[in-house]
Amino acid sequence: MRALVYRKSVPHYLAGMLAARLAPRRFLPGLAPLALQEIPTPDPARALGPRSTDFAVCRVRMCGICGSDLNLLRAAESLLLEPYGSFPAVLGHEVLAEILTPPADSTLQPGQRVVIEPVLHCAVRGLPLCEPCRHGDTNLCERFTEGDIAPGVVLGYNATLGGGMAEQCMAHRAMLHPVPDTMSDERAILVDSLASALQPALDNIPEKHETVLVLGAGIIGQHLIRCLRALGSTARLVVAARRNFQRDLALAGGADQVLMSPNLAALGQALGARLLKTTLGGGNLEGGCHRVFDCVGSSGSVQQSLLALRARGRYVMVGTAGSLSKADVSSLWFRQLTMTGTSCYSWGMHNGTRVRTYALALELLADPAFPVQGLLTHTFPLTSWKDAFACVFDKKTSQSMKVAFDMRQMVHGSQLAATAQEATA
């Protein structure tokens, strides 16, 4: 089968890092250790032995491109996370697929559509549950490097199970969520990115009187706005965006106000804060918002967040930052701020009930009133992977939001070829 395979290469990694600094909006495929290859189809018995019956073989229909995929190609992810991946690996963890071979004793049927929750926690690895997994915090599993599955937090960074940027992949029974028959593929492919925004929303739901700043209006920022409104939040939502199309989508999703690349004075005015001038720096803010959801995860966005928060405010890092530099953190202690992060998805509290985040994301999307128009902007066949990544790298030109590979054309092509061979025979 055809698959987009990433192979570990220090020279290519360093070249990608340099390219990202010199030309951040250009994807240079010649520098990436990435290639479309023919590889064997998944074989659970060979890969997993006695546990193979717990796994399904799935035919991929669509696979989204995530910001973490871009960070890998830009060499921008944390070096400390190297032990939590294994290569060569088929990229892709935002997977919509159909069952080819279901797990043993499963109610799933061949041909049934599923979305794959990609976290490779203790249960998936066949291990006794670690403490976080016992409490349902599977995204915080302590055994992502153990068991009969190669190291990896999610599909796409794991050498055993494969990923979604291929014709087929494997998934444990605990990872499979049936897709309602009434839901389109184009809507279902948004489940994973929606769940990534839904988790921090569930964990940090604002009070109704609060002012909330959402930094970044890419796909996660857009989902976060919609999640807060869907969860019933009536807090005032102020969003900082870079592009006009992002502004329009944020307003359609429920934002009260959108600022376009605001400077400190404009940000302070929108948040009801006073600008305090400093002699050598860019100034400070007094007052401000109650919460910041930082969907960028850069030194600049962290600095902007710390300045924007009022006393005892809460900062939530949603964007997956690695190292940060040149951020003045004096507001952290001076205003007694709280900083927290978020990773993937697990469980959360909603209306007094504990809910599985991935299942709730699927439920939200099943409601036709949940606004997703304009969020899936581009689809590409896997053979056009270079164009797909170029589209995501240069959002200014492409105006891309969520970009996905559409493997249905490849599936249909294979079916047509098989039919032709049968007719010839």
Residue of higher predicted confidence among 303 and 325: 303
Q: 346-377: string of b/e by CB count within 10 Å (b at 16+)?
A: bbbebeeeebbbbbbbbebbeeeebbbeebbb
Q: Quick count: other Cβ atoms within 10 Å of Cβ 261?
A: 9
For residue range 333-383, list pLDDT tens digits in order.
Answer: 999 999 999 999 999 999 999 999 999 999 999 999 999 999 999 999 999
Residue 278 pLDDT class (50, 70, 90 cuts): very high
For residue range 138-150, list pLDDT tens digits in order.
Answer: 999 999 999 999 9
Residues of the chain with CATH 3.40.50.720: 197-347
Residues of the chain with CATH 3.90.180.10: 2-182+368-413
CATH architecture, range 2-182+368-413: Alpha-Beta Complex (3.90)
CATH architecture, range 197-347: 3-Layer(aba) Sandwich (3.40)
Residue type, 183: M
Tokens encoding 176:
């499979």
* Statement: residue 418 has pLDDT above 50: no
Give the C-alpha separation, 184 to 320, whole Å.
Answer: 29
- Closest by alpha carbon to 291, among 202, 212, 223, 224? 212
SS (H, E, C) 151-206: CCCECCCCCCCCCCCECEEEEEHHHEEECCCCCCHHHHCCHHHHHHHHHHHHHCCC
Instruction: Check residue 12 and give its pLDDT.
Output: 83
Residue 416 pLDDT class (50, 70, 90 cuts): very low
Instruction: Check residue 322 and give its pLDDT.
Output: 78
